[in-house]
């Protein structure tokens, strides 16, 4: 008795060998898709581990320049800088944010002097410099919008002056992209690009990052009056539309893995350069499970990054950047 079936469709046919799977593959990840976020701190030859992010370190400027060389050699096009700020420099008015010689601005200059081919991206938000850990200025317990925007514009100008290629406003104040674009134009920084953290959610996934930059202890309350409600998707489309209208060159969705539906909608609706930030908590979860032997860290790292490409992203900010690039280049 024969069990032969005459199936016209056998989708497994094209999964049979690596060659056939390669032929029908719909998207690909390359080292050019990656932006590598690094943490800075003062000192010389410092590589200080971030406890909640195994494998990630705070780097002094000399080692940050070394990281830029590594990025160049791995084909990673951009670094994104996050300073750990001495608590003594944090104030209610956040003046350190626009100090031309703050840690972040010194790092921009050092990297652009030594490794000019690597793009340098910054974070524009006041939290590293704010005594209360918020991204905007706090007056009488309220995060005030317009005064914060004025401060953020000063911060953005100082970063542009230092030589940043991409400004990344992550503050979620209203009107900041337009205000920054106008100020950049007026100051002659017409080629400095803006990647707006347009759809940034009030997320529990940022926990390890706040450790890394020394903001966890400082933060009073939460960020729900400016970052978005994780329940919302239509609102994200309005935020993207607004930031593009105000002059953003590229947009970002953040966090990443829990918001892939947002990435897909943005790419489908706007067809603009779209990025996702695979944030600190996502990195920490994968690393923790891998360290326990519960998942294969390398496979999950690559699968998670590929998922962003499938969801329509042009690129990904990820702490895995150097490891992923090394693996991709070895293939």
| Interface positions with ligand PBG (CB under 6 A) | 123, 125, 127, 135, 170, 206, 209-210, 223, 279-280
Report which residue's Cβ sits closest to ligand PBG: 209
Q: Report which DSSP code applies to 33.
A: G
Candidates 159, 171, 169; CA nearest to 107 is 159
Virtual torsion, Cα 96, 97, 101, 107, nearest 10 deg = 130
**Smaller CB separation from ligand PBG, 52 or 70:** 52
Q: Report which DSSP code applies to 85.
A: P
In whole angstroms, the minimum distance from the beta carbon of 123 to ligand PBG comes to 5
In whole angstroms, the minimum distance from the beta carbon of 205 to ligand PBG comes to 6
Tokens of 260: 């892939």
**Smaller CB separation from ligand PBG, 2 or 128:** 128
Which residues, including other chains, have CB under 8 Å from residue 228's CB and lie 6 or more apart? 172, 199, 200, 201, 202, 235, 236, 239
**Smaller CB separation from ligand PBG, 33 or 135:** 135
**Smaller CB separation from ligand PBG, 193 or 280:** 280
CB 174 within 8 A of CB 145: yes
Q: Examine the residue annotation and report whether 200 is marked as an active-site residue of this protein.
A: yes
Q: Examine the residue annotation and report whether 220 is marked as an active-site residue of this protein.
A: no
Query: What burial letters (b/e) apply to 300-328, b meaning 16+ CB within 10 Å?
Result: bbbebbbbbbebbbbbbbbbbbbbbbeeb
In whole angstroms, the minimum distance from the beta carbon of 273 to ligand PBG comes to 19
Which residues, including other chains, have CB under 8 Å from residue 190's CB and lie 6 or more apart? 184
In whole angstroms, the minimum distance from the beta carbon of 210 to ligand PBG comes to 6
Phi, psi of 233 (to 5 degrees): -120, -45
**Smaller CB separation from ligand PBG, 114 or 232:** 232
Identify the active-site residue in 90, 112, 223, 254. Answer: 254
In whole angstroms, the minimum distance from the beta carbon of 72 to ligand PBG comes to 23
For residues 313 and 43, give the distance between their C-alpha atoms in angstroms, rounded to a whole number.
36
Identify the active-site residue in 90, 112, 200, 223. Answer: 200
Q: Which residues form the catalytic set?
A: 200, 254
């Amino acid at each position: 008795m024969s069990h032969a079936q005459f199936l016209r469709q056998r989708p497994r046919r094209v999964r049979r060998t690596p060659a056939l799977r390669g032929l029908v593959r719909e998207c690909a990840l390359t080292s050019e898709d990656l932006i590598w976020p690094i943490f800075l701190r003062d000192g010389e030859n410092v590589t200080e581990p971030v406890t909640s992010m195994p494998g990630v370190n705070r780097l002094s400027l000399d080692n940050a320049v070394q990281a830029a060389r590594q990025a160049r050699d791995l084909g990673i096009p951009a670094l994104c800088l996050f300073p750990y700020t001495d608590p003594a420099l944090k104030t209610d008015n956040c003046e350190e944010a626009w100090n031309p010689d703050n840690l972040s601005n010194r790092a921009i200059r050092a990297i652009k002097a030594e490794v000019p081919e690597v793009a340098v991206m910054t974070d524009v938000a006041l939290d590293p410099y704010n005594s209360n850990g918020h991204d905007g200025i706090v007056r009488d317990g309220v995060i005030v919008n317009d005064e914060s925007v004025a401060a953020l514009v000063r911060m953005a100008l100082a970063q542009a002056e230092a030589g940043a290629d991409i400004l990344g406003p992550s503050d979620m104040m209203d009107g900041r992209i337009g205000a920054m674009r106008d100020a950049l134009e007026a100051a002659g920084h017409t080629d400095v690009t803006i990647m707006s953290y347009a759809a940034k959610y009030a997320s529990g996934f940022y926990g390890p990052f706040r450790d890394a930059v020394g903001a966890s202890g400082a933060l009073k309350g939460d960020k729900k009056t400016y970052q978005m409600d994780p329940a919302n998707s239509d609102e994200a489309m309005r935020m993207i539309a607004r930031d593009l209208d105000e002059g953003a060159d590229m947009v970002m969705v953040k966090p990443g893995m829990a918001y892939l539906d947002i990435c897909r909608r943005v790419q489908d609706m706007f067809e603009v350069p779209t990025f996702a930030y695979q944030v600190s908590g996502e990195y920490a979860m994968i690393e923790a499970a891998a360290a326990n032997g519960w998942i294969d860290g390398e496979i999950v790292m690559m699968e998670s990054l590929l998922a962003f490409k499938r969801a329509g992203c042009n690129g990904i900010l990820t702490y895995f950047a150097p490891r992923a690039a090394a693996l991709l280049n070895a293939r």
